[in-house]
Homo-oligomer: A and B are copies of this chain.
């Protein structure tokens, strides 16, 4: 029997080797993770707080240049242009260290370099990629405008071709059309990949990107280019975000990144993709790596916060239990376990789903043939995982801060920086709510429609007959999961709550039911010939819920698949227990729905809550093992309490013991003068 089904509630082994758990976490890109751990094991990379904006930017730029020298940032580029040719090698390891550095790196190599690679053709690659890899050419990804962040198909910057001069006229018609929040723009960028409405022969061709120089060698903005600093942000102080406006800037024909749309010298436009919308979303689709990286990075930051909070919670004491001399360790309180352990289980679950997503991306982007449906599934998965990871990160880092009390609020304990930096991850690379709507749309259309066109709800053709079957395909370890589900007795009321098959079946059934409900509701409303916007808007919460339950289902399946890959029996037992916690906590969070729809009886619903409490108690002794398995090098932690709290608790305990033996408080001698010492 597979290890992934060992959910009998047996006693866990007393000791589980963190290295065995780490091996499962490190997975297919173990070499990349270990490479970063070894190569970057130096405190010079660790986060710094209290800098002013200029100091922070200068330091992060310098670190990015140093990182380029290590080769870490080249891994994802093709070998022929000096890269490592490993598409799945993401930059999430840098996010363990410093999110400003991660974003700076993400802008330069992921977004700017990635766009040149994906949207450009051979002459762009040959000329630009080597300079991008070395950071000789720092660049921007200028897509978002002040007026359009989510609906980027409606960008207002124009790029009009003039056959007489064989140049484009790049122009910002009004303030809402300026490029905004653009990383690398305020200080370092020399070039920008600028997305604009392409117009040739008086005809709009939709959004296209060009590689446009914005600063000269002297660092000054080029003529016609206006650069405004976005200034202070909540966090990410080391990233120089800015605004770019173009006043009829002349751009040579060759600057157009023309893989998906070519302009001849006379202005004739051609493209392998006929539909303007289809073309745009194909272009966007090639940039999926950015979204994948942001989700992975948020996962790394969450692990740092959990590592700090769990280790502090294992050391810090407050309040005595009746009859005990020494105070209780925070993590021994159920309320504290309830805060941290389900979050830890969710981090594991999301990690494995993120790993599965990376494998999928590696396959799809690396494939020589184009499979449109598979590409859309990848985009959907990337969108869902980006939203799930970044929302979880924000919730969990805030929780960890609170779990560390006043110490958690001091910059010297790293959590404040993490909290301020991570906030915007729910917004950039796609607003999470909009992304979840994208996921929902994929589910509702069976990935048949122009995928990203969120405004086109009215055009959706419901392919409900095949919807449910489609969305349940393609998870890793599908056959194992199928077997587990089929082994569940038909009278599930009697099934053991820790039965993995029952948990899987429960989330699968919920997804099918919610999706069918939305399809029926929308179809019914559409029959009544009401206003299309109103029909969709009235159901928007229901629509978004389909995405939510879909993501939770495949995240659980990814956890199960990961345990199936685990070869160490002790690690496997521990991960199984943790997977129970993820599954049952997920069910508990939504118990209202399960009860509403008769999927749980009241008795069973209460049993779910009781089992979550039991699991917290069972897993509490392994909390440290589970964060140790993240294998975060000490050099990357800049957290005073982790060093200081154990010594403080020891010193206090020694003094308390001395007092109990009758010493006078506050005295250095041992004269027995006080009748009852404080603390008793």
Contact = CB atoms under 8 A, between A and B. Distances in A.
A665 to B, nearest CB: 5
A605 B590 CA distance: 13
Contacts of A398: 394, 398, 423
Contacts of A52: 50, 52
Nearest to A544: B335
Contacts of A180: 406
B406 A427 contact: yes
Contact of A665 (B160, B423, B457, B532): B160
Given A232-B411, A602-B595, A602-B598, A649 B321 contact: no
Nearest to A649: B176
A229 to B, nearest CB: 11
A433 B335 contact: yes
A410 B230 contact: yes
A319 B454 contact: yes
Interface in A498-546: 532-533, 537-541, 544
B50 A533 contact: no
A660 to B, nearest CB: 13
Interface string A417-458: 001100110111001110001000000000000000011111
Given A202-B674, A409-B427, A324 B231 contact: no
B405 A234 contact: no
B409 A540 contact: no
Interface in A137-179: 144, 146-151, 154-156, 158, 160, 169, 171, 173-177
A233 interface: yes
Interface residues of A, number: 118
B596 A456 contact: no
A376 interface: no
Given A232-B50, A318-B148, A596 B595 contact: yes
A666 interface: yes
Nearest to A415: B234
Nearest to A321: B533
A318 B144 contact: no
Contacts of A319: 150-151, 454-455
A154 B325 CA distance: 12
A150 to B, nearest CB: 5
B173 A655 contact: yes
A176 B148 CA distance: 52
Contacts of A459: 322
A174 B592 contact: no
A49 interface: yes
A333 interface: yes
Nearest to A437: B335
B405 A655 contact: no
Contacts of A322: 455-459, 532-533
A53 interface: yes
A384 interface: no
Contacts of A541: 334-335, 338, 613
Interface string A642-670: 00100111011001000000001110000
Nearest to A169: B666
Contact of A592 (B233, B437, B592, B679): B592
Interface string A185-202: 000000000000101001
A149 B406 contact: yes
A233 B411 contact: yes
A148 B334 CA distance: 20
Nearest to A339: B433
Nearest to A648: B176
A456 B160 CA distance: 76
A149 B177 CA distance: 51
A428 B411 contact: no
Given A197-B678, A333-B537, A673-B202, A402 B427 contact: yes
Contact of A423 (B334, B401, B456, B675): B401
B50 A151 contact: no
* Best-buried of A402, A409, A416, A598 by chain B (most CB within 10 Å): A409
A409 B433 contact: no
A658 to B, nearest CB: 9
A177 B679 CA distance: 13
A334 to B, nearest CB: 4
A564 interface: no
Contacts of A334: 537-541
A355 B361 CA distance: 55
A69 interface: no
Contact of A144 (B175, B406, B426): B406
A423 B404 CA distance: 12
Contacts of A199: 665-666, 674
Contacts of A320: 154, 455
Nearest to A533: B321
Given A199-B674, A665-B199, A409 B533 contact: no
A32 interface: no
Contacts of A606: 596
A412 interface: yes
A410 B233 CA distance: 4
A559 interface: no
A57 B454 CA distance: 47
Contact of A651 (B149, B174, B648): B174
A487 interface: no
Given A204-B677, A420-B234, A333 B592 contact: no
B423 A419 contact: yes
Contacts of A233: 409-411, 416
A225 interface: no
A528 to B, nearest CB: 16
Given A154-B678, A158-B665, A248-B666, 5 more contacts: A175-B651, A233-B411, A335-B541, A402-B432, A595-B602
19 contacts: A49-B232, A50-B232, A149-B318, A154-B678, A155-B678, A156-B655, A175-B647, A176-B652, A202-B664, A203-B675, A203-B676, A204-B677, A234-B411, A322-B457, A322-B459, A324-B533, A333-B540, A402-B426, A409-B423
Closest 9 CB pairs of A and B: A234-B416, A322-B458, A321-B533, A232-B411, A595-B595, A591-B592, A171-B666, A592-B592, A334-B540
